[in-house]
Amino acid sequence: MARPRLEEVFGAELPPVFGLGDGNLANYLWDGSRVRLVDFEYSGRGDLAYELAEAVEHVSAWVGDAVDATALLSYFELTAAESARLVECRRLLALFWFQRLLAEDPARPHTLVRQAGRLLALLGG
């Protein structure tokens, strides 16, 4: 399978968004009708594809099946460039979480094994 070159995916000019930069579910407060964002430590200029990837691949979003990634992503209409970037950002963030869990969380091997499965699925393997 041919892979996109990094400069094509990560160098694409996409419309900027204000990004939280941290997909931890604890940073999103739902009151039943609105979502409010808190903890702007990593916030700044971003793009929609990266922010969505951050939200669905953060370990807090999938431990305990807290977020249905497919359902959440279906609410957004992405351009072809954003869709390509979303796939690559999800892979990158899944790899990040795998490495972080490998280094920091050996006491919970089931979490690491589950993340390895997520990463392999995103890589198409």
Whether residue 96 contacts residue 106, with contact meaning beta carbons closer than 8 Å, is answered with no
Average pLDDT, the chain: 86
Whether residue 27 contacts residue 39, with contact meaning beta carbons closer than 8 Å, is answered with yes
Residues spanned by the domain of 102:
6-14+49-123
pLDDT score, position 111: 83
Is 68 among the domain residues? Answer: yes
Whether residue 43 contacts residue 62, with contact meaning beta carbons closer than 8 Å, is answered with no
Query: Which residue matches tokens 């992405």?
Result: 78
Is 26 among the domain residues? Answer: no
Kindly compute the dihedral angle of the four CA atoms of residues 30, 33, 35, 36, in this order, to the nearest 10 degrees.
-90
Is 33 among the domain residues? Answer: no
Task: Give the model confidence (pLDDT) of 82-98 as tens digits.
Answer: 999 999 999 999 999 99
Q: Is the pLDDT of residue 8 over 70?
A: no
Is 35 among the domain residues? Answer: no
Q: Is the pLDDT of residue 4 over 60?
A: no
Is 101 among the domain residues? Answer: yes
Number of domains in the chain: 1
Is 19 among the domain residues? Answer: no
